[in-house]
Structure 1
Amino acid sequence: MRRFYTGSDLNRVHSIAELADMARRRLPYFAWEYLSGGAEAELTLKDNLAAFSAYGLHARAMVPCHAPDTSRVLLGRVLPMPMLIGPTGYNGLLYRDADIHLARAATARGLPFTLSTASNTSLEDLVTAVPGVDLWFQLYAMRDPQVQKDLLQRTAGAGCRTLVLTCDAMVLGNREWDRRNFARPRQLTWRNKFDVVRHPRWLKQVLWPSGLPGMGNLEPYLPPSERNPLGSMAFIGQQMDTFLDWDMLARLRDQWGERLLLKGVLHPADVERVIALGLDGVVVSNHGGRQLDGSLGSLDALAAIAPQAKGKLSLLLDGGIRRGSDIVKALALGVDAVLLGRSALYGVAVAGETGVGRALDVLTDELALTMNLMGCTHLNHLDRDSVFQRRRT
Structure 2
Amino acid sequence: MMHNWQELRRQAQRALPAFAFSYVDGGADDEKTLAHNLAVFDRWQFAPSVLKDASRRDLRCRLGTSQLNAPLLVAPTGYNGMLRHQADLMLARAAAKHGIGHIQSTVSTASIEDVAAASSGPRWFQLYVLKDRDVTRDLLQRALRAGCEALVLSVDAVHFGNRERDKAHYRRPMKLSYTSLFDIACHPGWLCRTLIPHGMPGFGNLTRYLPPEYQKGMGAAAYFASQMDRTLSWETLAWIRDLWPGTLYVKGITHVEDVIAAKQTGADGVVLSNHGGRQLDGCISPMLILEAARHAAGPDFTLMIDSGFRRGTDVVKALALGADAVLLGRPLLYAVACGGEPRVDSTLHTLIEEIDRTVAQLGCRSLQELRQVSLLCHRSDPAG
- Answer yes or no: is the 8 Å Cα contact 1:58–1:388 preserved in 2: yes
Letter in 1 for 2:181: K
Task: Give CA-to-partner distance per residue, 1:289-311, whole Å, 9 cap, x none.
Answer: 00001111121132321211222
In the TM superposition, residue 65 of structure 1 has moved relative to its aligned partner by: 4.8
Determine whether 1:201 maps to 2:172: no
Residue matched to 1:5:
none
Residue matched to 1:36:
25
Letter in 2 for 1:381: E
- Answer yes or no: is the 8 Å Cα contact 1:266–1:305 preserved in 2: no
In structure 2, runs of 5+ residues without a counterpart are none
Determine whether 1:101 maps to 2:104: no
The separation in 2 between residues aligned to 1:335 and 1:310, in whole angstroms, is 12
The separation in 1 between residues aligned to 2:34 and 2:195, in whole angstroms, is 29
- Answer yes or no: is the 8 Å Cα contact 2:125–2:143 preserved in 1: yes
Correspondence for 1:139 among 127, 130, 147: 127
Which 4+ runs in 1 deviate beyond 6 A?
none
Determine whether 1:236 maps to 2:224: yes
Correspondence for 1:335 among 323, 326, 339: 323
Residue matched to 2:75:
86
- Answer yes or no: is the 8 Å Cα contact 2:303–2:322 preserved in 1: yes
The separation in 2 between residues aligned to 1:46 and 1:117, in whole angstroms, is 27
- Answer yes or no: is the 8 Å Cα contact 1:30–1:181 preserved in 2: yes
Residue matched to 1:179:
167
Q: What RMSD over aligned residues (CA atoms) do the two structures have, in Å?
A: 1.5
Determine whether 1:357 maps to 2:345: yes
SS in 1 for 2:270: strand
- Answer yes or no: is the 8 Å Cα contact 2:49–2:375 preserved in 1: no
- Answer yes or no: is the 8 Å Cα contact 1:142–1:241 preserved in 2: yes
Residues 121-136 of structure 1 aligned to structure 2 (within 5 Å) = 121-130=110-119, 132-136=120-124
Letter in 2 for 1:239: Q
Q: Which moved more, 1:349-358 or 1:93-102?
A: 349-358
Using structure 1 for the length normalisation, give the TM-score.
0.93
The separation in 2 between residues aligned to 1:118 and 1:127, in whole angstroms, is 16
Letter in 2 for 1:189: S
Residue matched to 2:4:
15
Correspondence for 1:302 among 268, 285, 290: 290
Residue matched to 2:106:
117
The separation in 2 between residues aligned to 1:283 and 1:117, in whole angstroms, is 17
User: For this pair of structures, how many residues does the alignment match?
Assistant: 380
Using structure 2 for the length normalisation, give the TM-score.
0.96
- Answer yes or no: is the 8 Å Cα contact 1:105–1:353 preserved in 2: yes
Determine whether 1:67 maps to 2:56: yes
Determine whether 1:267 maps to 2:255: yes
In the TM superposition, residue 312 of structure 1 has moved relative to its aligned partner by: 4.2
In the TM superposition, residue 365 of structure 1 has moved relative to its aligned partner by: 1.0
- Answer yes or no: is the 8 Å Cα contact 1:174–1:291 preserved in 2: yes
Letter in 2 for 1:49: L
Residue matched to 1:223:
211
Residue matched to 1:289:
277
Correspondence for 2:43 among 43, 48, 54: 54
Letter in 2 for 1:359: T
Determine whether 1:164 maps to 2:190: no
Determine whether 1:376 maps to 2:364: yes
- Answer yes or no: is the 8 Å Cα contact 1:275–1:312 preserved in 2: no
In the TM superposition, residue 153 of structure 1 has moved relative to its aligned partner by: 1.0
- Answer yes or no: is the 8 Å Cα contact 2:67–2:122 preserved in 1: no
The separation in 2 between residues aligned to 1:61 and 1:70, in whole angstroms, is 19
Correspondence for 1:151 among 111, 131, 139: 139
Residue matched to 1:245:
233
The separation in 2 between residues aligned to 1:364 and 1:99, in whole angstroms, is 20
In the TM superposition, residue 209 of structure 1 has moved relative to its aligned partner by: 2.0
SS in 2 for 1:137: strand
